[in-house]
């Protein structure tokens, strides 16, 4: 079976200069592992892809895929383990998705022009309909209404017990960072920061920053 349809969860604002944070499972050929694709757009600029082949088969059971988005970090996590941390380096001239409210979207869409083997493999529509299942959705977030931001009580207060605070000021602990780096060494299959085609045009500024 050839499946070039993406199952995705994303946060996105509107317009050409939109912000966007993507979690996507790319299509595959039967028997091959699934690729988890992540991307971050800020002010309409994307092409910040990192891809992973996870340490489990995502079709066998439900798993928890989380996005922690706050003024300083976009952290992608799988079953509580961070796999990527896109940091705010606006002070160094790097755009960061911070100024636009975003909505959550979940969908299936045809991406056979690029998703499977660079677009060489096309969707087998005889296998339709394609199904993606989601459950136990949860959001802890501020809400924009009438141009004003409303946040749950305590959102911007630091946590006295844990020290890391709520999601508003959450960042990776030393252990969390080391665990993320282990995941990236073992399971990352693509990183825009090391793509020869991208690097030839100049290494993106954030790739040189920690």
Would you name the residues annotated as active-site residues? 20, 24
Check if the beta carbon of residue 42 is closer than 8 Å to that of residue 97: yes
Alpha-carbon span 124 to 112, nearest angstrom: 10
Alpha-carbon span 199 to 177, nearest angstrom: 25
For residues 127-144, one letter each, b for 16 or more C-beta atoms within 10 angstroms of the residue's C-beta and e for the rest, the string is eeeeeeeeeeeeeebeee
Nearest CA among 73, 82, 85 for reference residue 169: 73
Check if the beta carbon of residue 46 is closer than 8 Å to that of residue 70: no
Say whether 178 sits in a helix, a strand or coil.
helix
Check if the beta carbon of residue 108 is closer than 8 Å to that of residue 6: yes
- DSSP E strands in 62-102: the ranges are 65-69, 73-78, 81-87
Nearest CA among 90, 106, 91, 79 for reference residue 21: 106
């Amino acid at each position: 079976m050839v499946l070039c349809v993406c199952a995705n969860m994303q946060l996105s604002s509107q317009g050409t200069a939109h912000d966007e944070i993507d979690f996507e499972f790319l299509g595959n050929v039967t028997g091959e592992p699934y690729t988890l694709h992540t991307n971050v757009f800020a002010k309409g600029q994307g092409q910040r892809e990192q891809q992973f082949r996870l340490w489990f088969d995502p079709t066998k059971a439900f798993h928890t895929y989380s996005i922690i988005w706050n003024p300083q970090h976009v952290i992608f996590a799988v079953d509580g383990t961070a796999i990527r941390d896109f940091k705010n380096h606006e002070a160094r001239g790097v755009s960061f998705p911070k100024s636009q409210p975003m909505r959550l979207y979940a969908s299936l869409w045809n991406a056979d022009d690029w998703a499977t083997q660079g677009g060489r493999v096309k969707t087998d529509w005889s296998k339709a309909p394609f199904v993606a299942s989601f459950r136990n959705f949860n959001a802890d977030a501020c809400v924009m209404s009438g141009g004003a931001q409303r946040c749950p009580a305590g959102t911007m207060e630091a946590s006295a017990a844990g020290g890391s605070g709520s999601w508003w000021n959450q960042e990776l602990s030393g252990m969390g960072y080391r665990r993320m780096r282990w995941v990236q060494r073992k399971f990352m299959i693509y990183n825009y920061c090391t793509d020869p085609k991208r690097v030839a045009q100049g290494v993106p500024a954030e790739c040189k920053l920690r």
